[in-house]
Structure 1
Amino acid sequence: MNIINQLENKIYKNENINLQEYLNLSKVDNLKELCKASNRICKKYNNTKIDLCSIMNAKCGACSEDCKYCAQSSFYNTSIKSHSLVSKEDALKLAKENEKLGINRFSLVTSGAALKGEDFENILEVFKYLKQNSNIKLCASLGIISYEQLVKLKEAGVTRYHHNLETSRDNFSNICTTHTYEHRIQTILKAQKAGIQVCSGGIIGMGETMEHRIKMALDLKKLQIKSIPINVLTPIKGTPLENTPKLSYEEILRTIAIFRFINPKAFIRFAGGRLNMEDKGERGFLSGINGAISGNYLTTNGNGAKDDVKMINKLGLKLIHN
């Protein structure tokens, strides 16, 4: 029995798999068989249902953090167009458009280390307005905020908080120095304590190793994260990572498969960078992916929601609806 089958059977038996075994799995030559096994695991625990969500860039630019991948950081000159917090009317318009297309979730995302003060109070009102006037599930991504703020978000109708780990603990300082990996972990724990589901993943293609990715996936498993977005870096001119070589599609699929082996019951979703894939990610949906962020992202373009729904129908998969 090869290592793919060995570890697949371990998953079904709920047996422990160690870091070295995952590293060995990541080096198998037969990528096709690895992806098939990943897809079998996905189907066993999640059937053929696909969870689509969409995000809105609710406050853009002038970020105090130095994350090396980000066009919104004030440390870099990327010619990004900044804007203040969106109105509740604009937020509702986009939420309703996504709801009509069959998108399951809608998130407001703001730049900066944390949303505070008047901006936070205003976004609470936006969420309350969305809750009253739409049926789409609401998510938030507002940075490193407090437990008390998270409780208020839940009361306003937010059911999921998005907060990426971005990379592994031992690689984090190579990506960001203005806050720590532990800050992110603590925010996730506070959200869970407040009774809010957590969506957390990271970015691949930032020069990290496969071991870094596996360690991040293992931390997500330890945190019991059930929604894991995988972003593929789109190098942005003006950021320190602008000349980073792009990952091959095969490397992306291999990473997806490994994440599925580590987190068999999670919704592992395509996020940023999918437009750079030759088939807009179609092979990913047959390799362990069972979710996606549709529409435009924060500072890059994403796959259109209509196109995603069409692709999912073509593959014989079904959407999760409210």
Structure 2
Amino acid sequence: MTAPDWNQLADQSLAGELISREAAHQVLSAPDTELLAQLHAAYRVRHHYWQNRVRLHFLLNAQSGLCPEDCHYCSQSKISTAEIDKYPLMAKDRVLAAAERAHTLKAGTFCMVISGRSPAEPTFNRVLDLVREVKAQYPMKICACLGLLDEDQAQRLAAAGVDRVNHNLNTAEANHENICTTHTFQDRVGTVEAVKAAGLTTCSGGILGMGESADDVIDLALSLRQLDVTSVPMNFLIPIPGTPFVDRGDLTPRQCLRMLCLFRLLLPSQEIRIAGGREVQLRSLQPLGLYAANSIFIGDYLTTPGQAATADFEMIRDAGFVLEAPDGSVLQGDPLAELQALAIA
């Protein structure tokens, strides 16, 4: 099969046109010899909206484990036997210490995550207090990931100072029951819609490498496009011992890059973040992911470590990208030298 004109697909994307399903399949199934051309096309779209800036997000697992859901990929679910720390909502001093580290690492967004289906009222009120404390002390945006939410809860988060709420669709609707049985795909869509209705910025993405088909990958991206989410974290499965999906996640770095290209072409103006699993699945090709994505997490993930912050700063610098400040401008100075002077890894 003749490879499509990748630049023509970029032109369609930049014009706001939806590329065809056939073209989407061709993006995912293209031979490795086409990969650099695909990345060039994706970068044209990325550069149009984001230039060569990279946004940094910092993730805090503020409440770990103890979850009644059965998400098969997750080390915190009720069916997981993974050896992880389990604890209720962190005390204020620990959350503020994490926020200080996020600020030191130049993160523009501080992401507070709690495990569970949906927050109980006492926990929710404590989260609101923590948001106010962090917001008062640090010039960062705050993203909250709290499970299933309704519009009233989303409005209360907005009033407390939350800028964005994350709730991932995780996979295509047709594949959802293979991933989780304790809530539905529509439950997740409902939370994203409630966040939008409350006037908050939406953050929703997925996890790739869970055994999904090419159609599932495409359908996930199309669902996110239909919901018009603002920020899209693309996670690549980390096969954690003790979870049902420990034997999955057999992606190659080139497959991951093709998926990133597809998401950029289907979601041209969205913030696309290479999230959990980039060190595991992209490995030495991580820098190439920045030609499609414009954002990464710096630091650790929920229950798994990320690479050193200095390595991320070196990667961004060496690839010719620059860091974005919380206000959207280019971060001035030498962030890597600052971290090294502080002896921060």
TM-score (structure 2 length as normaliser): 0.90
Please give the residue correspondences for 1:68-79 in structure 2 after superposition, counting only pairs within 5 Å: 68-79=72-83
**What is residue 25 of structure 1 aligned with on the other side?**
27
Match of 1:53 in 2: 57
**Residues 163-190 of structure 1 deviation map (CA, whole Å, 9 limit, x = unaligned):** 1000001100100000000001010010
2:288 to 272, 283, 289: 283
Structure 2 counterpart of 1:83, one-letter code? Y
> How far apart are residue 280 of structure 1 and its match?
6.5
2:4 maps to which residue? Answer: 2
Q: Classify 1:17/1:278 alpha carbon distance in 2 versus 1 (closer, same or farther; 3 Å).
A: closer
More off after superposition, 251-260 vs 21-30? 21-30
* Secondary structure of residue in 2 paired with 1:79: coil
Alpha-carbon contact 2:27-2:261 (below 8 Å) kept:
no
Q: Which residue of 1 aligns with 2:92?
A: 88
Residue 253 of structure 2 corresponds to: 249
Which runs of 4 or more aligned residues in structure 1 lie more than 3 Å from their structure 2 counterparts after TM superposition? none
Unmatched runs of 5 consecutive residues or more in structure 1: none
Tell me, yes or no, if the aligned pair for 1:61 and 1:72 is still in contact at 8 Å.
yes
Distance in 2 (CA, whole Å) between partners of 1:108 and 1:280 is 28
Which residue is 1:308 aligned to? 312
Q: Which amino acid aligns with 1:22?
A: A
Q: Does the aligned pair in 1 maintain the 2:4–2:26 contact within 8 Å?
A: no
Within 2, Cα distance between the matches of 1:95 and 1:247? Answer: 33
Deviates more, 1:132-141 or 1:2-11: 2-11
* Secondary structure at the counterpart of residue 302 of structure 1: coil
Q: Equivalents in 2 of 1:105, 1:66: separation in Å? A: 28
State the percentage of identical aligned residues: 34
Distance 1:143 1:246 in 2: 28
Candidates 124, 136, 140, aligned match of 1:120: 124
- CA distance in 1 between partners of 2:75 and 2:14 (Å): 42
* TM-score under structure 1 length normalisation: 0.96
Question: Of 144, 151, 156, which residue of structure 1 is paired with 2:148?
Answer: 144
Partner residue in 2 for 1:202: 206
Q: Quote the residue 1:317 is aligned against.
A: 321
| C-alpha contact (below 8 Å) 1:163/1:199 kept by paired residues | yes
> Which amino acid counterpart does residue 275 of structure 1 have in structure 2?
E
Q: Provide the C-alpha distance between the structure 1 equivalents of 2:249 and 2:317, rounded to a whole number of angstroms.
A: 33
Ranges in structure 2 where 5+ consecutive residues have no aligned partner: 327-345
Per-residue displacement from partner, 1:102-161 (whole Å, max 9, x unpaired)?
110001100011111211111111111111111111110000012111111111110000
Aligned partner of 2:59: which letter?
I
RMSD of the TM alignment (CA)?
1.4
Once the two structures are TM-superposed, the CA of residue 313 in structure 1 deviates from its matched residue by: 1.9
Q: Which amino acid aligns with 2:14?
A: Y
SS of corresponding position for 2:117: coil
